[in-house]
Structure formats: structure tokens, C-alpha cells
Amino acid sequence: MSYDHTVTLTPEASRKRLVRREDMVAEKVAFIDCKMPGSHLKENYSLIGPGVTQSKDQKVALSEPHGFSLGVAAMPAGITNNLHIHYTAEVFMIFKGKWLFRWGADGKDGEIIGNPGDVVSIPTWIFRGFTNVGDSEGWIFTALGGDDTGGIIWHPTILKVAEEHGLYLTRDNMMVDTQKGAPRPDAADLMEPVTRAQIESLRRYSADEMRRWVVTRGDRVYSASSLLDSRLPGHGGELAPVVGNGIGEDRDQRPPITYPHGMSLEWGKLPAGGRIGRHMLREKQVMIVFAGQVEVVQNAGADEVRQTVKAQDLYSFPADTWRSIVNTGEGEAEFMLMTAGDHKKRIVWSEEVRKAAAAKGYAIDHNGYVASLDLLPYPVRQALAS
């Protein structure tokens, strides 16, 4: 399996795809509820695409379409994000803090607690809200399906209270702040609140049903055969699927959340000194480092470009580029991989990785999974032996 073409990144282009924690810029009035008592200390970050921000002042780290959006909700202890609906998938990847998620017509259908390392996917077309119930600052990476998310629907009570603080929402889902001198929009230009009948028509989820949309740290199932190079000396990368069809090559692994999200999510880990060997994808992919430190190596040979990615940083891999990931920290590195699309992704491995794996007796079968080389067709064995 090979590509017809590859893309080579310049050092400048590679550096622009690294978003360090210190480079992330927060918007403090990104949503219509940001002046309400109990919600007034929220910070919103748009890292990949604008997401669902309602502020024209929002700074976007990487505006290039990826097929999904990625942002951050940062909130002090006790602060709440109020009830709203998304049209596309919303996935919470908890980096720091203890969080209470609630859902339903009035936020009373159920509650789930999330902790660092947990992933919570809230289904579309239901109201959801969340509160930092810990005793320190909280930080959640939030993924949204699609480049066009359609915005959000606020619970009508939120729109009403927001007006008391001079905030209005227009039909194009943008916020107007009259306390900053903007004129109050005409009634015909305002977002129409949903009716009670519309709210009652929405699907309801029990706590048991919602638990199927949650993957806690303890739920992760890693495989030592996740990738073609996982068992090579000095490599050791393992993946645990979370959402959808990712890049994993162990045929016995199954994602716990299968509903289409527009992207796949997989936890990855590397031992100290370990690596994921040189490979390529047709899809765009984003890596968020949750623990440790890795070095991303893009391109090949004399064109190699290296970036160090630390905890709370992210790196965006363009499609059709060679890359490898090396753990340069002292302990185990932990990261999340988000890859565009709901389909099964097929890795293109470098020749050196394919040859090294073949010498150990395994290769990739025609369905894209690791298999014993001696069971594969003769032409495959011959090609790897030459």
C-alpha cells in the first residue's frame, strides 16, 4: 500500500501546527451565559476551528478545516456551563478537575461524574450542561464533529437571563453585548427560543444509556499489538480505542462508542524511550499530549522537522505527511489521537518498519490488521523478503 504523492512540511509550517499551552488565547465572553452569576468565570479556547463560539472576538489557533473542531472549556471550581444542545457530536476529554455532567429537558434526566483521563460523549439533540465540582481549576478539551457545527441551541431560560446582563443572540448565532455599546437587535433579528413542546419532543436518555457514552480511565483497553511496529524493540506504542474506527491495527479491538462522530478518538501511550515508527495517513490527525513529553518527527531523511510536544500542548498532522512519534520524557507518555472521518483509517508504514516487522514474522493483511506473515499470500511474503 502506498500513496501517489506525499507532502513535505517546511520548518515554519510545522511550527505553526504546534499549539503550546502558553500560546492558547482564552475568550472570557464566548457565550450568551458568560455574564450570569455562577458562569461568569468561564474561559473558552478555540484550538482547531471556531467551534461553536458566539463571540466575534474569539481567537482561533488553527483555522484550517480538519473535519472536526477542537476547543477547551476552562472553569474554576464551582462554575457552570449551562444547558444547551449541539447539532453535531460533542466529546469531552478531561485533562484536569472533577466534573458533573447533567442532561435532559431541564438537566434532570441524569448526572455523571467525570475525572481526569475520562472521556464523555454527549449525544446530539439533548440538553446538556456541566459544572466543575472539584476544588481547583478545571480544564476539558472538547471535540465537535464537522467543520460546520451549526451552532447551539440554548435552553430558553438562559436566553432570558442573559438579556438581564445585556447579552442577546442573533439568528446567525452571534452574540450582541449592549453593555459594550452595541445597539439592542431588533426583535425580528433575535434567535427564537425553543418552545416547551419542542423541548418535550426531544429524545430522553437514562443514566444507564448515558454510561455507554462514557469511557473512564479504568475502562481503557490497550493492546500490545495495536500497531504493526508495537512489538519491535525500542517501539512499544499501544492504543486504546474510544470513539469510532481509528488507526488501530489489532483486529480484536473494538471502540466502546460506535455512533458516528465525524472523527475517531484513541488513547495512545509510549514507554520511556519508545516510539511509533515512521508512517503516513491520508487523513488529518491531531494529537493532544496528556502526560509526559513526545517529539514529533515530520518528513523523512534530510527534510526531517522535529517539534517537542508537552503535556497540554497539541500538534496537528496534515494529511499525506510522514511522521513518527518519540517519547523523549522520563516516564510513560500518554496522548489522545483524533483522526478525521468515521471510516476505518489505513496506515501507510515506511519500508523500514514493514521490513523490521516482517523479520519478526508479521505484516498487515488485506483488511488493514496485523497478521502472521506466514499465513499471508505468497506475493506479500515475497515482496517483504526482497
**Cell numbers placing 308:** 517537542
Question: What pLDDT is attached to residue 381?
Answer: 92
Question: Is the alpha carbon torsion for 25, 29, 35, 38 positive or negative?
Answer: negative
Q: Which residue has the cell 475520562?
A: 118
Q: What are phi and psi of 161, to 5 degrees?
A: -70, -35
Q: Whole-angstrom Cα distance, residue 193 to residue 191? A: 6
Q: Whole-angstrom Cα distance, residue 31 to residue 174? A: 9
Question: What pLDDT is attached to residue 56?
Answer: 87
Q: Which pLDDT tens digit goes with each residue over 192-222?
A: 999 999 999 999 999 999 999 999 999 999 9
Q: Which of 85, 76, 72 is nearest to 40 (CA)?
A: 76
Question: What pLDDT is attached to residue 385?
Answer: 85
Q: Which of 382, 381, 375, 346 is nearest to 227 (CA)?
A: 346
Q: Which residue has the cell 475517531?
A: 264
Residue 75 DSSP one-character state: E
Domains parsed from the chain with CATH numbers:
31-215 (2.60.120.10), 220-285+325-385 (no CATH)
Question: What pLDDT is attached to residue 386?
Answer: 75
CB half-sphere exposure, 288, CA atoms < 13 A:
23
CB 110 within 8 A of CB 31: no
Question: What pLDDT is attached to residue 30?
Answer: 86
Q: What are phi and psi of 43, to 5 degrees?
A: -125, 135
Give me the DSSP letters along 159-175: HHHHHHTTEEEBTTS-E
Distances (CA, A) of 125 to 21, 114, 153, 204: 32, 21, 9, 10
Question: What pLDDT is attached to residue 301?
Answer: 87
Q: Which residue has the cell 496485523?
A: 370
Q: Whole-angstrom Cα distance, residue 5 to residue 250? A: 27
Which residues, in sequence order, are CB contacts of 117 under 8 Å at separation 6+? 94, 216, 217, 290
CB 82 within 8 A of CB 39: yes
Question: What pLDDT is attached to residue 3?
Answer: 53
Q: What are phi and psi of 371, to 5 degrees?
A: -145, 160
Q: Which residue has the cell 473542531?
A: 69
Strand order across the 90-96 sheet:
60-62, 43-48, 68-75, 138-145, 90-96, 119-122, 214-215
What's the maximum distance between 2 C-alpha atoms anywhere in the chain? Answer: 75
Residues with pLDDT less than 50, the chain = 1-2
